[in-house]
Amino acid sequence: MYSRFQLGLKYFQYYLTASSGRGHGIHSPFVFDFITKILNDKNDHDDYEKVESLRKRLLHDKSVLDIEDFGAGSSSAGPGKREVTSVARHAVKSKKFGQLLYRIVKNYQPKTIIELGTSLGVTTSYLALANSASNLFTLEGAPELANVARQNFKDLQLENVKLVEGNFDHTLPAILYHLSAVDFAFVDGNHRREPTENYFHWLLAKSNSNSIFIFDDIHWSSEMEQAWNHIKDHIAVRCSIDLFFMGIIFFRHEFKEKQHFKIRW
Ligand SMILES: C[S@@+](CC[C@H](N)C(=O)[O-])C[C@H]1O[C@@H](n2cnc3c(N)ncnc32)[C@H](O)[C@@H]1O
């Protein structure tokens, strides 16, 4: 992973070269709508409070979990004995990005959702609430994290979530085998080049024109930047949006020419 200094420099470069997050100069109606109606939606949705209360509770939870190592995930919430509060602080997507994922799912209403990397289930809860009619598979390798997440889903009465425990290398192919399509995927675990590219190719095999895949931490390390370049340059990807902390790809046939956007947000 990059040092804080390197990451700061990267962010600075991104900030200087990215287009403003207001949609000026964006000719694609789809991307313009995405920016103005989803990225910049400042409305307060009722579901936000449910997930943020859960986050608040986890941030105060001092119970200790024994977390197995399943791959590069977060700079400061790695494996070993860790308090729930530390995982909640360092491994879980922020409110800003969790709520963006909520709005994307709320807007496009994907039927089948896959999340790689459940952790405590905070982002899963955003995804599940955004479309309660979806089938959401969330994958986690560490059993003690999975137990906490399961209890959180019960507390929030989320009935559309299926937590699948085990290594992504085994659980993802097993799930995909039974699915005809994946409409939405959030890849947030095992931040290394080869596994990330593998997950992309496995998911790609079940994509359709309306699928949306999101990759977390695309500038976290040189390996993740290589993986992101591989993904966005793939012939099947018609449009990509780089938000620095995550990358979004679309396969929509309406994009006659491949387009790549870097948006300051
Ligand atoms: C960054 S956390 C996920 C955070 C979560 N998406 C959120 O925002 O609330 C990544 C998780 O992926 C899990 N993980 C990483 N690599 C894995 C693998 N190869 N198989 C199974 N789980 C894995 C880790 O145990 C960790 O809990």
pLDDT tens profile 134-166: 999 999 999 999 999 999 999 999 999 999 999
pLDDT above 50 for 76: no
Q: Report CA(162)–ligand 1 centroid distance (Å).
A: 15
| pTM of the predicted protein model | 0.96
Q: E-assigned strands of the chain? A: 64-67, 80-83, 112-116, 135-140, 161-165, 184-187, 212-216, 239-242, 246-250, 259-262
16-20, 52-56, 197-201: range with lowest mean pLDDT: 16-20
Q: Report CA(63)–ligand 1 centroid distance (Å).
A: 19
Work out which ligand 1 atom sits closest to the CA atom of 145: 27
Taking the C-alpha atoms of residue 190 and residue 73, their distance in angstroms, rounded to an integer, is 5
Amino acid making up residue 216: D
* CB 245 less than 6 A from any atom of ligand 1: no
What band does 75 get if pLDDT is binned at 50, 70 and 90? very low
What are the distances in angstroms from CA 48 to CA 40, 102, 136? 16, 9, 18
* 79 Cβ neighbours under 8 A, 6+ residues apart: 67, 68, 69, 70, 142
Q: Report CA(146)–ligand 1 centroid distance (Å).
A: 10
* Mean pLDDT calculated for residue range 234-249: 97
- How high is the pLDDT of residue 74? 42
Mean pLDDT, the chain, rounded, equals 94
What band does 77 get if pLDDT is binned at 50, 70 and 90? low
- 232 near 249, Cβ under 8 Å? yes
pLDDT above 90 for 49: yes
Domains of the chain by start residue, with CATH: 4-46+94-262 (3.40.50.150)
Taking the C-alpha atoms of residue 231 and residue 260, their distance in angstroms, rounded to an integer, is 12
pLDDT tens profile 104-132: 999 999 999 999 999 999 999 999 999 99
pLDDT above 90 for 84: yes
Nearest residue (by CA) to ligand 1, atom 1, is 91
Nearest residue (by CA) to ligand 1, atom 17, is 70
The share of the chain scoring above pLDDT 70, in percent, equals: 96
